[in-house]
Amino acid sequence: MVTEVAGYQESDHISVIFNKSSVSDKNLSYTVASTKCTCPSRVVIEQRCYCKGTQDETFTIHIPLQHMNEREYKPERFKTLLVMICFLIVGLINHFVLAVVTDIISQLPLPDFTHSIIPQNDFLRHMGDFFTAAAGFLLILICCVFHKHRWIVTRRLCYILTVLYMMRAISICLTHIPSGFQESENQICVPPNPDPHPTVNSVLTKFLSVSLTFGLQVQLTEDKLFCGDMLFSGHTTAISTSCFFLNYYTPHSLWPLKVIAIASCVSAMICVVISRVHYSVDVVMGYWISSIIFSIYHGFCEIPHVLRSRNRPFRRLFLFWTMFELERHVPEGRIPNKLEWPLPWPKSVVEFFKEWDAQSKETRAGRVALWLSEHRLKLHL
């Protein structure tokens, strides 16, 4: 099918809706978004329809135009709450797996290139937790509280973390890699249960201890760690995902926060390797897998709705249909990165967020936001 759209300007952002009443009853959507280029006054949108007959049929469709600002971003709170529950369940599964694996791993560390050239530093173990917690707090504050489309961003965040930590739980169950500490048996790691047949009470006690610390490497009763969650670094998964979301969903006026996120991400990964909390390959694999899942999901969001169900590379993924349902009513493309105070009061704070987001030269907050946007450091992480 070939469709011509007249009167298209270079600065316009247009949402095009295929109302294909002669072929089906469904509304199909496609997006035309122009950047700085020498576009003609007429844009041709082409899609070939393959029929079961011997000859292809071509349809010409009149497309009503819709401006980008008129797009509707529905919060869909029920979907977000459902994904948050799934993330909570997967987190508890990770904690339970770690509590079980602690009793069966070996106490002899494996050779590691970084460990062989850099001595162990126990102080950096706590610094790794600090950087991870700081990045997570910054992520929740900016993307899940102050973002205008916070429900959509939170839903995507919880879904990606659910997939990542489910993969992590499976990897911990399949292969039991010993910790990298040189003296892990008595000084740093929680000693394994000497009973070859541990009771349910002992396993649940460790499970609750891990859950109360949210998986961080500090135990409540003793300064000892639950060792055994190797091969897939949970620290790297959490902080790299936080870094990706802060870079993707933070407005240009808050680019210093992106620099802080990148610095925290790199520092945390260095700390967990030097402190022997993880092997070097744990951190590398955690970063790679996190970046791949993040890129796959947001690459899927860029695909027009009319093409998603027929996109074979994505249909081969085990998470395709869940992504398809979660993004069914979200307009394709990148959502606007705008800030909004989540409460109707106090009025002064509400107005401050509006002035910052408008970036008007008539207000002090707008001038500061405009100056930061114009002098931003472009980051492509």
Q: pLDDT tens for residues 187-234? A: 677 777 776 677 777 778 778 877 776 666 554 445 677 777 888 888
Low-confidence ranges of the chain (pLDDT < 70): 1-70, 183-187, 195-196, 213-223, 379-381
pLDDT digits (tens, 9 = 90+) for 38-76: 444 444 444 444 444 445 555 444 434 445 566 788 889
CA distance 246 to 262: 9
pLDDT given at position 23: 41
The H or E element that residue 182 is part of is none
b (16+ CB within 10 A) / e for 118-139:
eeeeeebbebbbebbbbbbebb
CB atoms within 10 A of CB 280: 16
- Residue ranges of alpha helices (H) inside 177-332 are 200-212, 234-249, 255-274, 280-302, 305-308, 312-315, 320-326
State both tokens at 354.
Answer: 């509006």
* CA dihedral sign, ordered 29, 34, 39, 42: positive
Beta bridge partners of 17: 29
Q: Distance between CA atoms of 141 and 143, rounded to whole angstroms?
A: 6
Tokens standing for residue 130: 């600090």
pTM of the model: 0.79
Q: How far apart are CA 138 and CA 105, in angstroms?
A: 35
Whether the CB-CB separation of 296 and 327 falls below 8 Å is answered with no
Residue 250: the pLDDT is 92
In the chain, where the domains are located: 2-70, 77-326, 341-381
Q: How far apart are CA 92 and CA 157, in angstroms?
A: 17
